[in-house]
A and B are shown apart, each in its own frame.
Chain A
Amino acid sequence: MLKTFLWIGAAASLTISGAALSHDAAKPSDAQIAHIAYTAGQIDIDAGKQALAKSKNPAVRAFAEEMVRDHGAVNEKALALVGRLDVTPEANATSAALTAQATQKHDELAKLDGAAFDRAYVANEVAYHATVNGALRDVLIPSATNGELKSLLETGLTLFGEHQMHAEHLAASLR
């Protein structure tokens, strides 16, 4: 997952370095940002559902339920927002890369059970939230032009920061 967002940064840097392109051209559009943010949320919802199907650990299940609930709420709000703004989320290479990596991780986790699954799921949640939060902070929020979208992303960043902390505490308790 980290690679994906490094890719975003790299792509942005490459574009910015092109003399013919303006700085703005390097930024993802609001339609692309909406698609990336929604995709990132959906990936964590799916991971949470996988955990709820596999884990018997009450703390892990409570965390997974929280992920499904919180990311679902953000995505519902995001869909309502893009509908109201008449913006169609635009598929892009970053969203595609996120989805491909998530599929790979899902398949890896599917082979694990019990405590091994719990540890791997939570470790991935720590890494995933750290990466998404970095992308929100450094790329998506600064690039968003619509005020409401920016505000939703900022709330998302605060929320996902909490998730990251929760995941870190949970990971420590599973060691």
Chain B
Amino acid sequence: MRRAIVCAIAMSAAPLLSGAAPAPKVHSIVIDKMRFGAVPPGVRVGDTILWINKDLFRHSATARNGSFNVDLPAGKSGRTVLRRAGNIAFYCIYHPGMTGTLTVGR
């Protein structure tokens, strides 16, 4: 009996699961030696960027379009949840030569 119920639930849930959007992911971008590390591919709306500052210096991850501005003291991390699709150029407000671009898909 229990097996039948479990089976029924699994069958009824399966179409829902297959049609749902993929679960949000957390992508890391490491900052070290005055550089933003590689920007991960496959970033989508709803995902989180985890900025990991391994550098000696305070940095920021600041979007040129104003959509985020994360202060990152030396050795600390910060998060950005991405709400919109598109290309987002970002830089460090303290060291503007440090730049990168996130590509956010739907």
Contact = CB atoms under 8 A, between A and B. Distances in A.
Binding partners A and B: yes
Interface of A: 66, 69-70, 73-74, 76-77, 151, 154-155, 158-159, 161-162, 165-166
B70 interface: no
Q: Is the interface of B mostly helix, strand, loop or mixed?
A: loop
Contacts of B68: none
A165 B97 contact: yes
Contacts of A166: 95-96
A69 B58 contact: yes
Interface of B: 33-35, 56-58, 74, 94-98
Contacts of B94: 66, 70, 162
A162 B74 contact: no
Give me the 8 closest cross-chain CB pairs, A-B, nearest first: A162-B95, A158-B34, A73-B56, A155-B33, A162-B97, A70-B57, A73-B57, A77-B56
Contacts of A74: 56
Q: Is the interface of A mostly helix, strand, loop or mixed?
A: helix
B56 A155 contact: yes
A76 B33 CA distance: 15
A159 B35 CA distance: 10
Most buried by A among B35, B74, B94: B94
A159 B74 contact: no
Contacts of A165: 96-97
A31 B93 CA distance: 34
B67 to A, nearest CB: 23
Nearest to B56: A73
A73 B55 CA distance: 10
Most buried by A among B56, B96, B98: B56
Nearest to A165: B97
B57 A159 contact: yes
B36 to A, nearest CB: 13
Nearest to A163: B95
A102 B47 CA distance: 50
Contacts of B56: 73-74, 76-77, 155
